[in-house]
Amino acid sequence: MVSNAGLKFYLIKSDVMLFPDWAYKPTWSPGSRQIQLWHFLLELLARGEGGAIGWGGEWGEFVIRDPEKLARLWGERKGKPHMNYDKLSRALRYYYNKRILHKTKGKRFTYKFNFSKLILVNYPGYPPPAPPAPPAPSHQVIHHVFTSA
Q: Which stretch binds DNA (CB under 7 A): 22-30, 107-115, 123-131, 136-144?
A: 107-115
* Close Cβ partners of 28 (under 8 Å, ≥ 6 residues apart): 34, 35
Number of residues that bind DNA (CB under 7 A): 26
CB of 126 to DNA, least distance (A): 16
55 binds DNA (CB under 7 A): no
Q: Whole-angstrom Cα distance, residue 85 to residue 100?
A: 19
Which of 37, 53, 54 minimizes the C-alpha distance to 92?
Answer: 37
User: What residues from 4 to 33 belong to the interface with DNA (CB under 7 A)?
Assistant: none
Contact call for residue 80 and DNA (CB under 7 A)? yes
Which of 112/143 has CB closer to DNA? 112
